[in-house]
Every structure is written in structure tokens, then in C-alpha cells.
Amino acid sequence: MIKVTDLHKSFDDLDVLKGVNAEFEKGKTNLIIGQSGSGKTVFLKCLLGLLIPDSGSIEYNGKAYKHFSKDEKREISKQMGMVFQGGALFDSMTVEENVMFPLKMLTKMSKQEMKNRVEEVLDRVNLKETNHKLPSEISGGMQKRVSIARAIVNKPNFLFCDEPNSGLDPRTASVIDNLIQEITHENDITTVINTHDMNSVFEIGENIIYLEHGVKAWEGNKDNIYKTDNQKLIDFVYASNLFQKVRVAQREGL
């Protein structure tokens, strides 16, 4: 579980996060939504320890990150897996080497054990016979799945995803969403997903936080997002005509 209290972060004169409070539960897909520039990525980078907040606290399983010793910080980073927006796969490594990389760097597994674990996770993300291909030789959807495989190969307790289905067709995006949700439930891990995609919100949003101008403007789940009276959230979620029609249909019980 991750608990965020009164998180502030600014760059020069620009206040990006202005006192965000949030709780991300274990075994749930937690979504952060918001317009571009609302502070989602900065928030996620603070959770990952890539950015140091100006004030406030982030607790992982009940202990504040700022109170961690150096070893504890290193240990908690080993428990984190991250799926980057562009995949962030290492170009010069094959799919197998990419997925094996965290095991090679952070564990003392034998080569055979690593190979078995890599096979297992590649199988889990439905990627077979791509082991020896370079990232440039596979499709965008496959790259995202390799990225998920690399994020979960070390059995993390915390999984972070930055717009995992951006640039993918709706069908592949849905496959990726469901895969992340299944992995979250199977392994009982805390998953935080940063997304713009409303399909993801309605499919896997078990806990949704809406950020606006660096503050939490709404919190709920995919079921009560239909009933919200928060006008800004409504404007954001139902920006497309299709979703407006869905909302009307939902309200009218169709």
C-alpha cells in the first residue's frame, strides 16, 4: 500500500503539485487521470523516487520514504516495477536480455534460473518466440508487453505504469489494460497507472484519482464516475461525443 500526504513539488516558480493526498491499495488497479499538465507524470515520478518532493510524505507499506536508510531505499526500489510510456526498452538488447536485465543486475540467480523466469513471464504476457528479437523488430503492442514482462520479472510489490496504452489501437490497448489488471490481482500488488485513456478508466478503474492543476479534484471508481456531479471531471471524462452518449445511456438506465 502507498499513502501520499500533502505532497508538494515545484520547478522554479511553477507549482506542479500543490498538496496531493492519496492512498493506493494493494491488489487494486489505481488510476491517476487528468489533463496534460495536471501533474500526473510528476506525481508518478515522485512515487518512483525519480523526483524528490519539496514537502509532504510518501509511505510504502506504512513507512515514510524520507525516513528510509540508503539500504532501505535501494531495497524498496528493487520492489518497484515500471512500465514507461515509450516502453524504455534497451535498444541494443534482445527481448530476452531486456527482461533478464533486472534479474542479472539485482539478483544472484543462476543463468538457468534466470532463463526459466524470463520464459515464465514472457509466456505470461503472451509473448512467445520473440526472445531473440530486438525491440525495433517487434510491434508497439509487443514492446509494451515486453516492458510489462521486464517490470514484473523481479516479482515487484509495486507496479507503476505511465500511459501504458498510449499509441496503441483500442483492441491492443484493452489487452494491455486487462493484462495489467490480471497481474495486479494474481500477485496482489499495488498498481498505479497514469492514463489519459477513458477506455482504461471504464474497464479497469478500481480506484481513480482525478488530478487538476496539481490537486486531487475527485476520487472514486469506475462505477461512481457515471454519477459524479463534479463538472470539471465530467468535462474531462465525457469530452468525446461517444462517452457523452454512454453517460446519457447510463443515466437513463439503457
Partner 1 sequence: MLSKYIKSIGQYFIMIYDTFKRMTKTSELRRLILQEIDDLIISSLGIVVFISFFIGAVIAIQTALNFSNPFVPRSLIGFAARQSIILEFAPTFVSIIMAGKVGSYITSSIGTMRVSEQIDALEVMGINSLNYLVFPKIIAMCLFPFVIAISMFIGIIGAYIASVYGGYLNADQFITGLQEDFVPFQIFYAFLKSFIFALILATVPSFHGYYMKGGSLEVGHAATTSFVWTSVIIIFMNYFITQLLLS
The residues of the shown chain that bind partner 1, judged by CB under 8 A, are 48-50, 74, 77-78, 80, 82, 84-86, 88-91, 101-102, 104-106, 160
Q: Which is nearer to partner 1, 42 or 198 (CB)?
A: 42
Q: Which is nearer to partner 1, 82 or 225 (CB)?
A: 82
- Angle at alpha carbon of residue 165, lines to 10 and 53, rounded to 5°: 15
CB of 46 to partner 1, least distance (A): 13
Q: Which is nearer to partner 1, 77 or 230 (CB)?
A: 77
Which residues fall within 8 angstroms of residue 253, CB to CB, at 6 or more apart?
none
**Rounded-to-integer distance, Cα 254 and Cα 247, Å:** 10
Q: Which is nearer to partner 1, 47 or 233 (CB)?
A: 47
CB of 78 to partner 1, least distance (A): 5
26 contacts 1 by C-beta, under 8 angstroms: yes
CB of 77 to partner 1, least distance (A): 4
Which residues fall within 8 angstroms of residue 94, CB to CB, at 6 or more apart?
131, 132, 133, 134
Contacts 24+ apart (CB under 8 A), 236-242: 236/33, 236/34, 236/35, 236/210, 237/33, 237/198, 237/201, 240/198
Please name which of 3, 15, 34 lies closest in space to residue 230, comparing C-alpha atoms: 34
CB of 93 to partner 1, least distance (A): 10
Q: Which is nearer to partner 1, 61 or 90 (CB)?
A: 90
CB of 86 to partner 1, least distance (A): 6
Q: Which is nearer to partner 1, 46 or 201 (CB)?
A: 46
**Rounded-to-integer distance, Cα 14 and Cα 19, Å:** 14
DSSP 155: -
141 C-beta neighbours (distance < 10 Å), count: 17
- In whole angstroms, how far apart are CA 188 and each of 2, 24, 51, 94? 14, 13, 26, 29
Q: Which is nearer to partner 1, 156 or 214 (CB)?
A: 156
